Each structure stands twice: as structure tokens, then as C-alpha cells.
Structure 1
């Protein structure tokens, strides 16, 4: 398997491993209490497309560079998460009456964390499984 494939699937696995339990257990009650009427059932196709495309973005902008290190992926993963999650959250806050600052702050913080960790763990797994050289 190519290094890019390993990097992609490792990053995706780590992201899903953190995000699904977070959304399904940890944050579910919080989001329900904040914007409950707006929440519906998860539509699988858009959700799957988000994860598949988001990881492509992580690789392009964060971890696929030949000189990527765990330190750089941690930093740039955090920044990528900040910009992506803030784009959605601040747009939602600007346009949706029921969106709250508490949701914005919590979700942006989560996006920073989960993207930094996923990018870094994906890189470390890819370095272990398919060393550069």
C-alpha cells in the first residue's frame, strides 16, 4: 500500500475513532440542550462525504508534505481545524437564530483538538508502517 493511502486511512481511522464517540456520547446532550430543535437524524451520505473530504484536506494542507514532522502536523492540524470549524460555526452563528456562542466555542475547540491529534497520529502511523526514504 502506498504511503499516501496509509496516511489517509490512518488519519481517517483516528478521526472517526475520536469524533464518533464524541458526537454520539460526550457532546450529544450539550448540542441537544443548546440547539435541540434544529437537530435531526444524521444523514449518512453528507456525513461520509464530510469525513472523506476533510481528511483529503488534512493531507493536502497538513501532513502529506515530505518534510512533515509530528510537531508541524500538531501545529498545522490545529490551525486547519481552527479555520475549518470556525468557518462553519461562525457562519451558522451569523445565519441561524438558535445557534449559540457556547456551541461555537465548544465545537471550534473540538475541531482544533481532533484535527491536530488525527493529523499527528496519522503521520506517526504512516511513518511506522511505510517509512520515508
Structure 2
């Protein structure tokens, strides 16, 4: 599934994929958070949230996650020229990644609501699948 030169021979593809994933995630997550913070997160876990998010930590998350999505999902889908694979595999990766965070929080944090866990896991699946799929479609058109 993965070749040893996935980044080495395709730096341009990886970079385009990374940028496209970042843009897609930025737009989608920005829209989601503008809706969900006041309706889901503040009511459910507001007692755990800071008044102002840590911008450096958020930036580090988005860069790391988008790089992972580009490497693990977009690049193989580009190699196979199957954007549908990116939607599917991105959704699976999003479910796993967001599930890791949400289920761990549910397991160890007192008062962490099940509703936040379920909704956030579904959102992670949608966000990652759609971002990866669109990024793959964009890169396929550019290269």
C-alpha cells in the first residue's frame, strides 16, 4: 500500500495535499466550531474549557493532523487515483483519531458527557473524510 518514496518522489503531491487538507479542515472545522461551541461544547464540557484557546497548540494540532491525513490517506489515494478511497479512509482515520481523544476523555474525566463523545467522533469522521476526499480531488486536478 505504501511505497518508500511516497514523500521523496512526490514532494509536490504531498505539499499540495497538505495545503488542501489544511484549507478544507480550516473551512469545515471553522464552520463546525462556530456552531458547536455554544450548543455542544460549552454546555457539555464548558467547565473544562479555557476562555481563550491556546493558539500554538491548535496550530500544532492542525499541522500534525493534516500532515498525517496527507501522508496516510491522500497520498495512497493519489497513487491509486481513487478519490473515493480518500473519503472512506479519511473517515476511518477521523473516527479513530477523534475516538481516541473522546473515549479516553469519557474514560478518565469526571463529567465528560457521552453526547459530546458520540457527536465529536462523528464530526471527526466527517471532517477528516471530506477534507481528505476533497484534497485528493483537488490534487488530482492540479497534477
TM norm structure 1: 0.92
Stretches of structure 2 that go unaligned for 5 or more consecutive residues are 1-10
Q: Which deviates the most, 3-12 or 44-53? A: 3-12
Higher relative contact order (CA 8 A, sep 6+): 1
Tell me what 1:11 maps to: 21
Number of aligned residues:
129
Q: Is the 8 A contact 2:44 2:113 kept in 1?
A: yes
Residues 14-57 of structure 1: CA distance to partner in whole angstroms, max 9, x if unpaired? Answer: 0111001211x210111111111111121001100000000111
Stretches of structure 1 that go unaligned for 5 or more consecutive residues are none
Q: 1:2 is paired with a residue of what secondary structure?
A: helix
Tell me what 1:46 maps to: 57
CA RMSD of aligned residues (A): 1.2
- 1:69 alignment partner, one of 79, 82, 88: 82
The equivalences for 1:17-96 within 5 A come to: 17-23=27-33, 25-29=34-38, 30-40=40-50, 41-65=52-76, 66-96=79-109
- Structure 2 CA distance, aligned partners of 1:21 and 1:78? 18
Q: Structure 1 segments of 4 or more deviating over 6 A? A: none
